[in-house]
Structure 1
């Protein structure tokens, strides 16, 4: 009997020591990946609140982001400026994807989805998929967090690496960051809340509700003169060939060898625009854009009361880089 008690005590000590060793080692990368896979499959709805800091080409901006998600495919991404005023809302429901600009009472509707390698700032399911599918990732664990560094595609001209920091216990997002190819931080999203218990009604994903978030009176900047807004970056060998300014609409034309590009700038008309065919949703670091399909494509985006339309045969990655370079430009 005494021997059995001694053996039982020794076995208890061994079990405790083994548990301490395992706890000291912490989560392995394999166990985290498996838990992330299970979390993605079980995540039916959530609400997240985050602050995004964007640093591009000498310009620094702050956005307040609130995301609602309802499985299998509904979402609502609200983007507000540093003052908390809602500028744009991205909504997906059974009718398609909408980009709504409440201050301008303007919306785009199209059929499609996020472009490849896009959407990984706002939708946590996409973040998890990016981690699981990354062919090149680095895993580290610190007190209270686990971190994945993910190498981006070679054809991405802006982003070299994505970093995802998760809570060690829940694996909920704490921070997402993008770095350029020189290792400089471009975008940081700091999550303040992540609530998987939030539930929503179908009407919460109605674009008309998002339009109602705008002011009753049109802002003065939405109708006043804006000058000529020129991009500060163009592909090598490209240059401007023509500027037309009619007072309400600006048309800029560029050429690079045999290729051409047209950039149109105007105040948008208060209406819903439905784009024919399929299109892709692109994130211009806080400004959503739509890119149509085809050899000759058009990218649409709205910023500071001006609607832009860029048409040409350049790759969407180059068009996105040109579009982002207009953010630091003021009308001349």
Structure 2
């Protein structure tokens, strides 16, 4: 009898140990949802690598969040410091700031909840919660979810793997795949500082734009303001259309180039550089569109146009026939294409 009792206790202990040691997808998903619901604030840094053809573009991202719904995303590339951008969300709306160009746009947008954002904690968890077919695995010290993405403006990135730290449930690594299961984007996070505290104006436009402007070297600002000459850049993706006209115009304060493409999809690309000196501060311009990523640059997307800035040059792409996804493809091919 005592032997039977001992065997029962051993089997019961094994059952308990096995049950505790194996995390279930349902349990982890529920814990992720609860963690996000209780989250007051965080601050972290991330590295985003974008593998485009034979090149790799590397970006550093400083991230900050404060409940409810305040975001600050500072994106910068060491090879193009003047092209650094800040995405802000506060009670007044969504803003995209390019301090070196003294540009700021204000959007009436539900960003970041309207689409997947590979560098935002809330977005990654939402992708897990919204995908009923999400796959789950435990790899080393991480819970790994494979989910569908929701890139409304880029359908060429359908799936992702998200690694969450088992102890903190914060993201550690994100891999985004193309339809052929090649890694196109990889985001690696440093440890999160949960419960971070911020200055009162940390998420305000004025504080971010003016402080960033003042931190730039004077030589860099003058270089941006005096780019009278620039090489015309052409897209490598033209979607069965051909360049039929190139028009160049001298402006009072710069130069403009208009490229016209015709074929299966007609579109126009405008490239413009200004030479006027920048004012100390300008109020944000209203944009009727939504923030859109062109690589790591953030532009404005409307129903028939896409605008953004890179290396001191303003770009504008317009088309009545291209989809949002196709406009992103053309724009990204300009961003990585050298002079023709």
TM over 0.5: yes
Give the whole-Å Cα distance in 1 for the aligned partners of 2:23 and 2:248. 60
Per-residue CA deviations over 1:93-142 (Å, capped at 9, x if unaligned) read 12221111122121111211337873421221111111110243211111
Aligned match of 2:285: 274
Report the CA distance shift for 1:44/1:14 in structure 2 as closer, same or farther (over 3 A).
same
3-state secondary structure, aligned to 2:74: strand
Query: How far 1:323 sits from its partner (Å)?
Result: 0.9
Pair 1:308-2:304 in alignment: no
Report the CA distance shift for 1:206/1:127 in structure 2 as closer, same or farther (over 3 A).
same
Pair 1:206-2:211 in alignment: no
Contact 2:107 2:291 in 1 (8 A): no
Contact 2:106 2:287 in 1 (8 A): no
Q: How does 1:1-332 map to 2 (within 5 A)?
A: 13=10, 16-24=13-21, 26-82=22-78, 85=81, 87-114=84-111, 118-152=115-149, 156-211=154-209, 212-214=211-213, 215-217=216-218, 218=221, 220-221=223-224, 223-224=226-227, 225-235=229-239, 237-247=240-250, 248-257=255-264, 260-267=266-273, 270=278, 271-277=282-288, 279-292=289-302, 294=303, 297-313=304-320, 314-332=322-340
Higher alpha-carbon deviation: 114-123 or 135-144: 114-123
3-state secondary structure, aligned to 2:118: coil
Give the paired residue count: 321
Give the TM-score, by structure 2 length.
0.85
Give the whole-Å Cα distance in 2 for the aligned partners of 1:331 and 1:113. 37
Give the whole-Å Cα distance in 1 for the aligned partners of 2:170 and 2:53. 31
Structure 1: 5+ residue stretches without partners: none
3-state secondary structure, aligned to 1:193: coil
Query: How far 1:44 sits from its partner (Å)?
Result: 2.1
Higher alpha-carbon deviation: 205-214 or 157-166: 205-214
Contact 2:40 2:195 in 1 (8 A): no
Structure 2: 5+ residue stretches without partners: none
Query: How far 1:23 sits from its partner (Å)?
Result: 3.3
